Structure 1
Amino acid sequence: MNTDIDNEDSLYPIAVLLDELRADDVNFRLNAIKRLSTIALALGVQRTRDELVPFLDESIDDEDEVLLALAEELGNFVEYVGGKDHAHIILGPLENLAAVEETLVREKAVESLTKIAIVLSQQQIEEYYIPLIKRLGSGDWFTSRTSACGLYAAAYQTATPSSQDELRSMFKQLCQDDTPMVRRAAAANLGKFAKKIPKEQVVLDIIPLFSKLAQDEQDSVRLLTVEDLVAIAEILTKEESKTYLLQTLRSMVSDKSWRVRYMIAENFVKIAKAVGEEVTRDDLVLAFVHLLKDNEAEVRTAASGQVPGFAQNIDKQTILSHILPCVKDLVTDTSQHVRASLATQISGLAPILGKEATTEHLLPLFLQLLKDEFPDVRLNIISKLEQVNEVIGIELLSQNLLPAIVELAEDKQWRVRLAIIEYIPLLASQLGVAFFDEKLGNLCMSWLGDNVYSIREAATVNLKKLTEVFGVEWAKTTIIPKVLAMGNHPNYLYRMTTIFAITTMAPAVTPEVIRDCILPTVNNLVSDPIPNIRFNVAKSYEVLIPVLKQSQETVVLLDAQVKPALDKLREDSDADVKYFAEKALLAGYQ
């Protein structure tokens, strides 16, 4: 389809666009930028190339918010200038944006430039893209040189061999730049660049640059080389990684800056997988122990999050002799953030250690974490107990942890109570109905009267799930009578909870249960003095009607009981009650 519009009186003549983009109001200019694709379609590809893009190239002096939107829009502009053959035309305004002061604008411009580089031909790369990199990389201001660092990877494989040599040489200069911000940008992009380069060139050119950046005087540069190490190790063989990277890795683990050690800890599992089993066994186990014992809480927090992932790369005996003693210390760490991180991950050790070791070594630690004073620690350990259950079985788990779980069911932090509620159906399905009724039945009912709405709501959903686990007959004799008894409570919140609970449970029970047990209570609440209860009764009927229609024996109740009740609610003095009654009638009788 030809999008050119030859008529000089185009729907969007360039003069109108100039007025919009020159408006005093920033929001007006921002909206104009966000409509660039529409404007370009109206102008057609020729006028877009000849008029719109040159204008944008000269419109870089604006608010950062506008420039950011422009940088993003231009990354998706190839089709509007006539496709790949003309894509290089967009490079001009993006080059200017890549040199501005605001970091977010430069980053978005670099992102858009790399998107365009992917569609460029080798000739366009040679003629337009590489000269752009040179100009940015040799700019007087560090801002343009930092942007240049992010452009090499996208162009390298398309460039000619001689240009590839030149690109590696130019990138080397940026890695040795006098300005720390430029070296930081080079370090941030070194790994991406390495992945585009043949292995022999990685060894000759990239690894020396990596080693130098990893020893940079600025820790903000050194910490970025951690991800470079992972990227380079993934290119090399395990033996090559040991030869070229091991010494640098050892230095990183004991770096004087905690921020570098934090990055090592944060990426430790990736590093272990990349360098291989031998280096992990011989060097990384002790290094990981040092990180778990680091004097900075942030480092210990990051290392705690890596425990199960790292344990998968070493044998069980090494875990028991080296890693587990550290884990035991971390359970009582002075930092609540360390304990919270550990609580999220410690359950992941259970499948690795097996039933016997989990029972002996981990269960006491789980119990300790379940009693932690910091609610997030308790919350994190609860949310991961399913992994432990799969390894040791529900019987052992319940014997050891059930008292703590029951205690947490009344925790003062509602999020902890909520986590326990969400865990109950799984626990119930494996405990069995007799054990559940004895130990947890009353607990589940008590949540219906909780003073936090989210808990009461979750409790009603819990009852539905329990009905699905134990069956309708169990629900009919065990929980439905208790729920319905609350319908006569003088406190309207209890009556409201009754309506919520039976509405939620209705799809999980039979039409006969609704007829015999639930419908009489709902009918009684039609006359409740509280409007909120009456309109929730109307909403409840809307849910009950489809269930009653499932049986010939109960469908007769629709005309006998449900419709008269809804007709009464439809005449209610409260607007909301009338609305929901009408809605239920429409849904049930259409």
Structure 2
Amino acid sequence: MAGTAGSGSSPLSAGGDGDDSLYPIAVLIDELRNEDVQLRLNSIKKLSTIALALGVERTRTELLPFLTDTIYDEDEVLLALAEQLGNFTGLVGGPDFAHCLLDSVRLLAVEACVSIAQLLSQDDVEVLVMPTLRQAAEDKSWRVRYMVADKFSELQKAVGPKITLNDLIPAFQNLLKDCEAEVRAAAAHKVKELCENLPSEDRETIIMNQILPYIKELVSDTNQHVKTALASVIMGLSTILGKENTIEHLLPLFLAQLKDECPEVRLNIISNLDCVNEVIGIRQLSQSLLPAIVELAEDAKWRVRLAIIEYMPLLAGQLGMEFFDEKLNSLCMAWLVDHVYAIREAATNNLMKLVQKFGTEWAQNTIVPKVLVMANDPNYLHRMTTLFCINALSEACGREITTKQMLPIVLKMAGDQVANVRFNVAKSLQKIGPLLDTDALQGEVKLVLQKLGQDEDMDVKYFAQEAISVLALA
């Protein structure tokens, strides 16, 4: 609740200066003490209006003490107040009076500390800002500690390297092992930024001795949000620490995260493999992390498999064609017959991206023959996947491969017993038609579509007639 300070504590109590033009400001000030939280929030958002009306001296001597004495409040109101005071420097008379603001909010003035510290000398920051920040980092309210963690990068830049090393690093260590998961997660998110912003000459030593031991603890944290937050940034440390440290100290952590029970943790590691590859090279990466990736590619949870598929073109580019064919090609083909449609669909799109990356000769020798064999699969879903692959691959493979290798298979499948396959034949012919020469279109393609246009199944008939229209074969 807002405090109930007496009327004498208000900056405009009893209209002391007799200025009726300040009456609206008096109303706003009264609302700061209203029982209604929303009214208090609205008034706080207009604090700059109140300060401008009062002038810099009365803002310093009346408004700020009034706020300090009156508002003992919910976190939401205190947060809004801290945000406002962060922009208040000019309203109290400029940087020379900035220290007044730190006395005006309880321990939730972290945001204000960032703004104020940027204006002060290092000595003034140490004397005027750091006591508030030290208290905030150890505050009994987890929301206060959370805010310190959330604003850590800004704080680090605002206070400078010396204070960072002496004060912020120990505070950060405490935040990384905070009893509240929300605080640990917020701090974990800032690990990479903190490390990047350290002085280059001491960076590696500080990280290895003062940050990494805490990161190792977080890898096995009991809370999945904490582990996910860390996994989203930890790979970036490899570029900061270099090859030797990455192989010795970070790879074991990455491997543990790749095997984490939480899918989001594994996902975050996979999606950032490229920055590790840049540091340690593909052979080392494949020996250490590839087995875990293969394991994920066959995971029981389809969303995990889907995530791996989506990163396969990226992996392919990193591994190179020969290595990819040796280690991962069979996985890509296996996904085409997955029991989950979303996996089969993603696997089809994946093949198209791989052909774009490795070229048509690779497609002709490695992919297309395996895809076309599926046209004879007993499972009609797998036969349909052949058509979906042809749709996706035709443009990337070009006219010759499409005409010579793919078209005969599509035409043959027009006689399939399953209507779903037949109408997908019509759709495939419409898709690949623009790539075919006139003879093929006016010959076999037209005959097959005309036959499908007389099919007993309404859907087959509809899609065949649509293809005839689109390809102008009527």
TM-score for the superposition, normalised by structure 2: 0.87
1:174–1:186 Cα contact (<8 Å) kept: no
Residue of 385, 390, 396 corresponding to 1:497: 385
Structure 1: state its 5+ residue gaps: 1-125, 216-221, 549-553
Aligned to 2:173: 289
Cα gap change, 1:154 to 1:481, in 2 (>3 Å): farther
Residue of 339, 353, 370 corresponding to 2:258: 370
Q: Aligned partners of 2:219 and 2:124: how far apart in 1?
A: 38
Root-mean-square deviation (CA, aligned residues, Å) is 2.6
Residue of 139, 142, 165 corresponding to 2:35: 142
Aligned to 2:451: 568
Cα gap change, 1:186 to 1:372, in 2 (>3 Å): closer
Aligned to 1:542: 430
User: Where does 1:51-90 land on structure 2 (aligned, <5 Å)?
Assistant: none
Give the Å deviation of 1:532. Answer: 2.2
Give the Å deviation of 1:540. Answer: 1.5
SS at match of 2:261: coil
Q: Deviations over 1:19-59 (max 9, x none)?
A: xxxxxxxxxxxxxxxxxxxxxxxxxxxxxxxxxxxxxxxxx
Q: Aligned partners of 1:577 and 1:338: how far apart in 2?
A: 52
SS at match of 2:299: coil
Q: Aligned partners of 1:484 and 1:171: how far apart in 2?
A: 77
Residue of 433, 440, 460 corresponding to 2:328: 440
Aligned to 2:353: 465
One-letter amino acid matched to 1:327: I
2:336–2:344 Cα contact (<8 Å) kept: yes
One-letter amino acid matched to 1:198: G
Cα gap change, 1:540 to 1:208, in 2 (>3 Å): same
Aligned to 1:250: 134
Aligned to 1:555: 438
Residue of 102, 106, 112 corresponding to 1:228: 112
Give the Å deviation of 1:515. Answer: 1.0
Q: Aligned partners of 2:163 and 2:309: how far apart in 1?
A: 45
User: Where does 1:104-503 land on structure 2 (aligned, <5 Å)?
Assistant: 131-139=23-31, 141-143=34-36, 144-153=39-48, 163=55, 165=57, 169-170=62-63, 172-178=65-71, 180-181=73-74, 185=77, 187-195=79-87, 197-198=89-90, 201=93, 207-215=99-107, 222=108, 225-314=109-198, 315-503=203-391
Give the Å deviation of 1:506. Answer: 1.2
Q: Aligned partners of 2:454 and 2:20: how far apart in 1?
A: 79
Structure 2: state its 5+ residue gaps: 1-18
SS at match of 2:248: helix
Q: Aligned partners of 2:423 and 2:222: how far apart in 1?
A: 52
One-letter amino acid matched to 1:587: V
2:89–2:116 Cα contact (<8 Å) kept: no
Cα gap change, 1:211 to 1:527, in 2 (>3 Å): farther
Q: Aligned partners of 2:364 and 2:126: how far apart in 1?
A: 67
Residue of 397, 410, 434 corresponding to 1:522: 410
Give the Å deviation of 1:258. Answer: 2.4
Aligned to 2:5: none
Q: How many residues align?
A: 447
Q: Identify the range of structure 1 (565-574 vs 405-414) with the bigger mean alpha-carbon deviation.
A: 565-574
Cα gap change, 1:179 to 1:266, in 2 (>3 Å): closer
Q: Aligned partners of 2:300 and 2:20: how far apart in 1?
A: 68
Q: Deviations over 1:110-140 (max 9, x none)?
A: xxxxxxxxxxxxxxxx998x65443132147
TM-score for the superposition, normalised by structure 1: 0.70
Aligned to 1:4: none
Cα gap change, 1:241 to 1:534, in 2 (>3 Å): farther
Q: Aligned partners of 2:206 and 2:311: how far apart in 1?
A: 33
Give the Å deviation of 1:403. Answer: 1.0
1:175–1:186 Cα contact (<8 Å) kept: no
Cα gap change, 1:179 to 1:199, in 2 (>3 Å): closer
Q: Deviations over 1:463-511 (max 9, x none)?
A: 1111112111111111111111111111111011111111111110121
Cα gap change, 1:483 to 1:287, in 2 (>3 Å): same
Q: Aligned partners of 1:206 and 1:573: how far apart in 2?
A: 83
Q: Deviations over 1:517-540 (max 9, x none)?
A: 111111122222322222222222
One-letter amino acid matched to 2:70: D
Matched, 1:583 2:466: yes
One-letter amino acid matched to 2:35: F
Q: Identify the range of structure 1 (336-345 vs 441-450) with the bigger mean alpha-carbon deviation.
A: 336-345
2:176–2:183 Cα contact (<8 Å) kept: yes
More relative contact order, 1 or 2 (CA 8 Å, 6+ apart): 2
One-letter amino acid matched to 2:83: G
Q: Aligned partners of 1:152 and 1:583: how far apart in 2?
A: 66
One-letter amino acid matched to 2:350: N
Q: Aligned partners of 2:451 and 2:155: how far apart in 1?
A: 70
Cα gap change, 1:256 to 1:163, in 2 (>3 Å): closer
Q: Aligned partners of 2:149 and 2:72: how far apart in 1?
A: 27
Aligned residues with identical type, % of pairs: 47
One-letter amino acid matched to 1:393: G
1:175–1:187 Cα contact (<8 Å) kept: no
2:82–2:112 Cα contact (<8 Å) kept: yes
Give the Å deviation of 1:203. Answer: 5.3
Give the Å deviation of 1:575. Answer: 3.2
Give the Å deviation of 1:358. Answer: 1.2
